[in-house]
Structure formats: C-alpha cells, structure tokens
Amino acid sequence: MPISRRTLAAAAVCVVLPLSGCGSGDDSGSSDASGKIEGDITFQTWNLRANFKDYFEGLIADFEKKYPSTDVKWIDQPAEGYADKISADAAGGTLPDVVNVSPDLVAPLAKAGLALDLDKAAGQYRKEYLDGAWASHRIPGMSGTYAFPWYLNTGPLFYNKSLFEEAGIDPDQPPKTYDELFTDALELAKKSDGKVATLANVPTVEDFGRYGVPLMNSEGTAFAFNDAKGVELLTKYKELYDAKALDPQALTATPESSGKKFLTGAVAMNPGSALDLGNFKKQAPNLYRNIGITDQITSTGHVNMYVMGVMVNAQTKKKAASVAFAHYVTDAEHQMSFAKKVAIFPSTAGSLDDPYFTKEDGTDETRVRIAAAKSLKSAVNYTPVLFSEQMKTALRNEVAKALQGKESPKEALDNAVKACDTLLQQQG
Amino acid sequence: MAAVSRARRVRRQLPLSPWLFAAPGLLIIGVFILYPFVSTLVNAFTDKRTLIPGEFVGLANFRELLHDDMFWIGLRNSTLYVLGVVPALVILPLLLALLVQKNIPGITFFRSAFYTPVVASIVVVGLIWVWLLDERGLINSLLEAVGVGRVGFLSDQWLLLLSAMAVTVWKGLGYYMIIYLAALANVPRELHEAAAVDGAGAIRRFVTVTVPAVRSTMALVGALSSVAAFKVFSEVYLMAGPSGGPAGEDTTLVMLVQRTGTGLTGRVGYASAISVVVFVVTVALMLLVLRADRRGEA
C-alpha cells in the first residue's frame, strides 16, 4: 500500500514534536521569583540527615509556620555518588526545587539552564553574604550567580610533634612557608630512612592555586597552571617523592586514606578541620597527645576554603517558595545556629565577628575554630568552578607521570592543561 | 480427544494469556536490558552529554577511541585481566572441588569456608585486601619480618593489577567450585575404578577421566569467567582508587566507561562507544570459548 505524503508529514510531526520538546525552556525557566510564597517544594541535602535530623526538621517546621501555605519535603542523599544522583535527576527532569550543591556541581547545571540566576531572582539578598562567598557560584562565561552561599570550611595543617622531634626538628617551629615545608620533609624522610613521609597526597589544583600558580586565564576560557611556578611546585614534589618524603602510595591516595596514614603515624602532616580533633582524641589518643596545629601553608596570603551552596531549580513551578526557602536556610540566623552544631563557618556578612568565632576558651577546638574563622575572611576557593571530576583525574594522572619520572614536570603540566582545555571545550 | 479440543477452545478464548504470564518478565527485560542496550547503541553515534542532548556524529566517537591513550590502556588491562584470571578460575576451582568432593567428617565446614568469599560484599573484601596489602599492612609487615622488605602492592601499576587479579580469583573460587562439584557428581565412579584397575595413578586419572568428563563445565566456567574478567570494575576501582592506579595505568575499560560517562559533565556518547566495544569483545570471547569447546568435542 503506497504511503501518502500527508501520512508521512503527520508521522514526521509526531516524531519531531516530542523531540523538539527535549531540553527546551518553558515559562518556568524565567528568573521571576515574585509572587505568593506557597506550595509544595522539595529540598535535597548532601549527607546531613544522619547527624542533623533534628536541626533540619526544626528548620523546615519553622519555615512552614512562617509561611503556612508551604509544605517542604526534605530528601537527604548519601555522600557517595551525590553528583551522579543529581545528574540522574537533572537528566530525568526530577531535580528537586532546592538543592544543596558545591560550586563545581552548579556550573554544569547552570549551563544546562537548570540553576536559577539569583542575581535576577534574589538580588536583594546579595548584601547579606560575604562578597567572596556570593561570587563563588558565578560561572566564567556566564552572567549571574547560581546558588546562595551556605556554609564555608577551611582548616589548619595538623602535624605529629613526636615524628618531628625524632627527626631532630623543633616541634614548636612547624614549617610556615613552602621552602621550610620541603626542607623539613626531606629531613624527616632522611632521618627515618624513608619510613616516615611528611605529605600523603599529590598536589591538586587547590595546591597549585595556594602556591600562587594562575589556574585559568582571566576570561576563564583556558587553564594556565603549566606556567613556570606550576612547574616549580611539581619539581619540588618530584624531589619529595624520590626521597620518600611524599608517601609512595600518594599516587593512588584519597583524602580518607591519607587521614588514616596520619592517624597511624605513617605520615607527619595532614590538612584537616576542627572536626578532626575529636577523631584524633577518639581513634588515636597517642597522636592527640602529640598533635601540633599550624596554619595552612600558602604563598598567596590566602588560605583555601570550601564552599557549600543552595541552588534553586530554574524549572521549579514554585519559584517564590523555593527562593524564600533557600534564603531561609542560608540566612545569617540559621547559618549561625547550624555553625554551633558542627565545625562549619557561616558565609553571611558579620557572622564571623560573633564572639563564638573570636573569643578563646582555652580548648584546642576553640583555638582551631577562631584561627579558621580569621583566615576565612580573606580565604579563596581555589578550585575553579569549571574544574570537573574528569579534569581532576587528568591532572592527577599527569602529576603521577611526572612523579614517576615518565614525563618531565613541564611536559606533564602541558599535557594536563591540554587535556583539561579539551574537556572544557567539550563541556560547551 | 475431548481434552485436546478443550485446550484448543481455551487457547481460542484466551489468546493473550501466555503473553500475560510472560508480561512481567518481558517488561523487566524490556525496561532494564533492551531499552538501555538500544539506547547505548544509539548514543554511541552521538555527542550526547549528561545534561545536553546529543547530535548524530557518525563514527566520530569510535575514531576518537583509536587515538585515546586511556582507551588502549583500558583495553590492555581488561585483556590482561582475562589472560591472568580465566586460567586460574578454570583450573583452581576444579582442584578445590576434587578436594572437598569426598564425604568425610567436617568437609561441610571446608565447603562453606571456600564459598564464604563469594557471599561477602566486594566492597568489604576490597577494603580488607587494601588493608592487608598496604605498605604498612599485615602482608608487608610479615615480608619485612622475614627480611624480604616492603613490597609496593598498591603503588606499583603491575603489582596492583596482579593483586586485584588475586582478589578476583580468591573471591570467585568458591562459586566455580560449586559448579564443578555438581559436574563431578555426574562422573561415573566406574570410570575411575576401571582406570585404577588399569594402573592409572591419581594424576593420570585426573587427566584422562576427570578432565574429559567435566570438559563442558570447564568451557562454561571459561566463558562465564572471561566475560566477568573483561568487565572487571569493583576490585580494581577499590584497590587502585577512582583514578585507576598510578597515572591511571590500571584503568580497565569499564572503569573508563564509568569515569567518562558519569557525573554532570559526563560524555555519555563517548562512554557509550566504549561500552559497545566492551559488548562486542565480551560476545566474541564467549563465542570463542564455546567454539573451542565444540571443536574439542568433535
């Protein structure tokens, strides 16, 4: 039976119409968040239910009391595979209305039109937050800010005083500069016959940033960490690796495995936060008795900080309620009350001047908290928001090749930059 | 005759009933196997990313594979895994099955003990082995105590791959042992007795009686274990870390699929192309083993 042109056209329309709907924006993609705060919304957090169930249930109940026409459904996802869960939801069109994110998660969501531009939708709240924190959810090449800043974190460098002492290094004079760090590390490895390393991780993009290496060009369109300073840092690390001052298993280490090595005395220094002191006390009392605490080492004068954010799904049908709730979670009052429950720091302006972050009480925990709060005022989130997991792996693998001597530090960084640039272009 | 006509009548009245019975199974196969398979096949020819629908790019992904060093590393490691693991998983479980085949007091304990790694979670098993093989782990402490010195099981790319293979073999022994136990139960005792009467020793009887009798089972174990070995992920991921060992040199093809295709910036199209290669190779491997078995039988 011959098929008529009309039938063919109808079939084509049937096929093309649903396809053309994929990925297209609709009215719910606008940035207008005005209107009555009402409706059912979902709020997704990142592994927070186990320890802070009461806090979040109270927070949600208070919000619903303030806005009686709202109903917030709280979903908590485990830490493992969080990015994959968001990917699946985003791809499947089931992204919650309000989502706990980090800047590197926001970037692809914003590019796909799934994160609401808060400069437009909630610009009136901008002044409530620290400038640096608000800026941490801006994406190079795009205008706008795509998440409310939530809590910040940074921490000191912990060191094992007894290992320093055994190597003949004054445990009360920990390294303050990179040169001192490299000298002490080589000395420690030499004195322990290569049994005690000082560092357990290969340099990451944050390390390059803290060393003063420019990570991207000013337009944010290409990576730049293969300059002379970057090569200098990697060359130093190669020296440490050869002398076993950098742990031999550093090439496959994770932050968790490095932490364990520090606990067992296999590694002399490890970055951490105030939270770790409790762990040391509980899991390694000997280490806790010998723990030394010093500032993060940086050549730029700015320590590294980690930023958590709360974004609003640009496709939500309840924009007013979602923006109001995201702001409610991250406002000064609630960030402060959350900070008193766990060792995190508020990103709201003025909160770090609260006596809780300035007044000593003689305990190590408070000392670490005060030092961290002080350093956060000028801290930088060195991780470029466009630096994806694939880029992290590319950099890590090239760094490993340099440390193993398969490539020179310059070749390795050139290759890493090339790979990251390719991935950046593929991101679109 | 009446029963036959009643059956025909029932079939006429309920033409859909067989399909209704099969529907749950077909639905599951359709949703969880057929759809993802077809979707992967289609995506392999697009530049689809996690959040961005792709466009048809023809064979571009496959051409890119040819120039991707990491793909060749993955192919090398997955192939080495098959070559290292499959012979061990074909032979060792057979020997183990022969050991525990006899009904002697307490043998159930040993059968259960050998089977325990099979039911243990691969994550738990992986973490235990990482702890054992660590620079300061139990095995290195023992080696140091006997004067061998520490060995970089988890820092050398080849030792790492070998360690992961050892874990795969250790974990799979019990599973294939059970398959062999079932096959050995069907080997007529008379054959062994006749061979013994003819003066054949234990090794001779193993080669001339046991092996030919379980030949098909060996082919089955070879096919199953080669497919599983080529698709290895968990053991290497847990022991070598997410980046695939030092400089990614222990990355396997399935790890590469995971690393490339997941996350918010995942290249779904490219990862699908790698998946298609994995599929083609695993099917080829299976056919190769089964064909070799058929030739042997002939």
- Listed by start position, the domains of chain A span 34-153+305-376, 157-303+382-427
CB-nearest partner of A252 from B246, B260, B267:
B246
B246 touching chain A per CB within 8 A: yes
- A12: pLDDT confidence band, cut at 50, 70 and 90? very low
b/e burial code for range A399-416 (CB count within 10 A of at least 16 → b): bbbbbbeebebbebbbbb
Amino acid residing at A249: Q
Question: Taking CB atoms and an 8 Å limit, are A87 and B266 in contact across chains?
Answer: yes
CA distance A187 to B72: 41
**CB of B242 within 8 Å of any CB in chain A?**
yes
User: Cβ of B141 under 8 Å from any chain A Cβ?
Assistant: no
Which two tokens mark B187?
A: 């080997």
Cβ atoms of A97 and A39 within 8 Å: the answer is no
Report the alpha-carbon distance of residue A387 to residue B264 in Å, rounded.
12
Read off the pLDDT of each residue in B71-80 and give the average, rounded to a whole number: 97
Q: Do B265 and A108 touch (CB under 8 A)?
A: yes
The helix-helix angle for A228-242 and A178-191 (nearest 10°) equals 10
Please name which of B92, B275, B75, B246 lies closest in space to residue B168, comparing C-alpha atoms.
Answer: B92
For residue A333, how many other CB atoms are within 10 A of its CB? 11
- Tens-place pLDDT, residues B163-186: 999 999 999 999 999 999 999 998
Tell me whether domains A34-153+305-376 and A157-303+382-427 share a fold: yes
A388 touches chain B (CB under 8 A): yes
| A124-183 pLDDT, tens digit each | 999 999 988 898 999 988 899 999 999 998 888 999 999 999 999 999 999 999 999 999
- pTM here? 0.83
- C-alpha angle A187/A188/A192, rounded to 5°? 115
When CB atoms are compared, the residue of A87, A266, A401 closest to B50 is: A87
CA distance A226 to A234: 10
pLDDT at B14: 66
Closest CB from B160, B243, B264 relative to A108: B264
Q: How many beta-carbon contacts under 8 Å exist across A and B?
A: 95
- Within 13 A of A388's CA, how many CA atoms are on the CB side? 27
- pLDDT for A8 equals 37
Q: Per the CB < 8 Å rule, is B50 touching A108?
A: yes
Q: Average of pLDDT values for A219-234?
A: 95
Query: What DSSP designation does A249 have?
Result: G
For the domain made up of A157-303+382-427, give the CATH fold.
D-Maltodextrin-Binding Protein; domain 2 (3.40.190)
- Nearest-CA neighbor of A107 among A129, A126, A79, A87? A87
Q: Which two tokens stand for residue B208?
A: 């001339």
pLDDT, position B297: 67
Residue A355 has which token pair? 């006596």
More confident residue, A31 or B290: B290
Confidence band, pLDDT 50/70/90 cuts, at residue B270: very high
Q: How far apart are CA B115 and CA B170, in angstroms?
A: 10
Q: What is the mean pLDDT of chain B?
A: 91
User: What phi and psi values does residue B45 have, to the nearest 5 degrees?
Assistant: -105, 20
Contacts of B248 in chain A (CB under 8 A): 393, 396-397, 400
Q: Which of B264, B267, B268, B270 to mutate to test the interface with A (most CBs of A within 10 A)?
A: B264
**Residue A393 is nearest to which of B259, B266, B267, comparing CB atoms?**
B259
Burial class (CB in 10 A: 0-12, 13-18, 19+), B104: exposed
CA distance B44 to B40: 6
pLDDT at A26 over 60: no
Binary contact (B136, A264; C-beta < 8 A)? yes
Which of B243, B255, B260 to substitute to test the interface with A, most A CBs within 10 Å? B243
Query: How many Cβ atoms are within 10 Å of B23's Cβ, its own excluded?
Result: 12
A390 and B242 in contact by Cβ < 8 A? no
Which pLDDT score, from 0 to 100, does residue A17 have?
A: 32
Residue scoring higher pLDDT (A80 or A125): A125
Q: Which of A377-381, B65-69, B259-263 has the highest mean pLDDT?
A: B65-69
Q: What value, to the nearest 5°, has the Cα angle with vertex A184 and ends A180 and A187?
A: 145
- Mean per-residue pLDDT, B147-166: 92
- Mean pLDDT over residues A313-318, rounded? 94
CATH architecture of A34-153+305-376: 3-Layer(aba) Sandwich (3.40)
What are the E-state strand segments in chain B? Answer: none
**CB within 8 Å of A164: residues ≥ 6 apart:** A170, A171, A174, A184, A188, A268, A292
Tell me which chain A residue has its CA closest to the CA of residue B47.
A426
CA distance B228 to chain A (A): 24
pLDDT at A254: 84
Interface test with B, best of A238, A397, A413 (most B CBs within 10 A): A397
Contact yes or no for B160 and A423 at CB 8 A:
no
Return d(Cα B250, Cα A358) in angstroms, integer.
48
**Per-residue pLDDT at B53:** 86
Contact: A252, B152; criterion CB under 8 Å = no
Q: What percent of chain B stands above pLDDT 70?
A: 94
A266–chain B Cβ distance below 8 A for any pair: yes
Report which listed range, A8-12, A46-50, A208-212, is most confident.
Answer: A208-212
Report B:69-108 residues touching A (Cβ under 8 A). none
* Percentage with pLDDT > 90 across chain B: 67
Which is it for strands A39-46 and A98-101: parallel, antiparallel or unpaired?
Answer: parallel
Compute chain A's Rg from CA coordinates.
24
More confident: B242 or A17: B242
Question: Min CA distance, A362 vs chain B (Å)?
Answer: 36
- Reported as a pLDDT band with limits 50, 70 and 90, residue B296 is low
Q: Give the tokens for residue B22.
A: 């099969």
Q: Which chain A residues contact residue B265 at CB under 8 A? A: 108, 388-390, 423, 427
Q: Scanning every residue of chain A, which has its alpha carbon at the shortest distance from the alpha carbon of B127? A: A257
Both tokens assigned to A301: 């004068």
pLDDT at residue A10 above 80?
no
For residue A282, pLDDT over 80 is answered with yes
3-state SS, one letter per residue, for A75-128: EEECCCCHHHHHHHHHHHCCCCCEEEECHHHHHHHHHCCCECCHHHHCHHHHHH
Whether the pLDDT of residue A36 is over 50: the answer is yes
pLDDT value at residue A362: 84
DSSP A121-149: HSGGGGGGB-HHHHHTTB-TTS-SB-SEE
**Does the beta carbon of B149 lie under 8 angstroms from any beta carbon of chain A?**
no
Mutate to test the interface with A, among B35, B43, B51 (most CBs of A within 10 A): B51
Q: At residue B30, does pLDDT exceed 90? A: yes
Residue A76: burial class (beta carbons within 10 Å; 0-12, 13-18, 19+): middle
- For residue A388, give the chain B residue with the closest CA: B265
Whose tokens are 């782990």? That residue is B137
Tell me the C-alpha distance between A148 and B36, whole Å.
37
- Taking CA atoms, what residue in B is nearest to A248? B155
Confidence of residue B9 (pLDDT cuts 50, 70, 90): low
Select the highest-mean-pLDDT range: A31-40, A83-92, B68-77: B68-77
**Which one of A46, A251, A257, A420 would you mutate to disrupt binding with B, by most B Cβ within 10 Å of its Cβ?**
A251
Q: Where are the alpha helices (DSSP H) in B67-146?
A: 69-101, 107-119, 122-133, 138-145
Of A207-221, A364-378, B129-143, the least confident: A364-378
Residue A11 pLDDT exceeds 90: no
Which among B51, B244, B248 is the nearest to A108, CB-wise? Answer: B51
**Model pLDDT, residue A335:** 96
User: Which of B50, B242, B247 shows the shortest C-beta gap to A400?
Assistant: B247
Question: Chain A partners of B155 at a C-beta cutoff of 8 Å?
Answer: 248-249, 251-252
- Judge whether A192 is closer than 8 Å to chain B, CB to CB: no
Those residues whose C-beta lies under 8 Å from the C-beta of residue A173, and which sit 6 or more positions away, are: none
A288 phi and psi angles, rounded to 5 deg: -60, -40
**Per-residue confidence at A5, pLDDT binned at 50, 70, 90?**
very low
| Dihedral sign, Cα of residue B289, residue B293, residue B294, residue B296 | positive
Please tell me the CATH code under which domain B60-297 is placed: 1.10.3720.10
Parallel, antiparallel, or unpaired: how do β-strands A269-271 and A157-160 relate?
Answer: antiparallel
pLDDT the model gives residue A405? 95
- Give the gap in angstroms from C-alpha B179 to the nearest C-alpha of chain A: 35
Q: How far is A326 from A321, CA to CA, in rounded Å?
A: 9
Residue A41 carries which DSSP code? E
